[in-house]
Structure 1
């Protein structure tokens, strides 16, 4: 009988050690799961912020286009853009997609009330219209519009769109 009693005393400490190791493994698994959960939440939040500023910049571009097409008075930034000095050769080298006839960008006041870091319009070129209209009567003037929307968190989106106006010669 003494033999059974002695064995039972030596095994009591082993159960405690196994339980503590098991608890440690569960704690590490729980902390890791929390970190992954927080990381995924941040990724989802960043994706939502990027989408929000993208939509704000696109909305600003559409609002500017609507304003330009509403009446002639709203086209003043386009006329100012035409009269800007020509782009420097260094800028044209850095931005090879711009024609050599491009002018410096003209600032445009935001319409939609978004936190816009910058809205600009730039005259790029004047060319014959490609729509089959009479070459003697009409000329097409190309512009590039840029809108940058920014959130207070620092997330931003910079969108660009080309527009063409058909004018009488």
Structure 2
């Protein structure tokens, strides 16, 4: 059984393997994203958070996902172009993943087991569900898609 996010490897949007152990001693926000969602403007808020806290050891990992209303149809290059053009993001975009169902990415299986949703559910409800991870790689909190990135500042600051 995994003890932290550091036990996992993920694939970035350039198809490179990324050991999450490289984020040791950082506070990490993990978000499932989509380009054609009502919450897509949160990319701007995420970028603001990233710029505000990255010098203090804060990272954001965005995992595009097409499981909610088919709102992320593009390939990795199209997703990157969309994010660059519309939000000029500088945080890490990962390979497209599934966050629910039998093909759920291992990292997301772990995240959901560590921080359940409303009424104890594990299932991710929609795009832009966020997981905050402390410097030890432990999941501290799960946020609903409706939680605006700027509303996470106090929680992030506590962990930094």
- Shorter-chain TM-score category? under 0.3
Task: Mark the structure with the bigger radius of gyration.
Answer: 1
Larger relative CO (CA 8 A, sep 6+): 1 or 2? 2
- TM-score, structure 2 length as denominator? 0.22
- TM-score, structure 1 length as denominator? 0.21
More strand by share: 1
More helix by share: 1
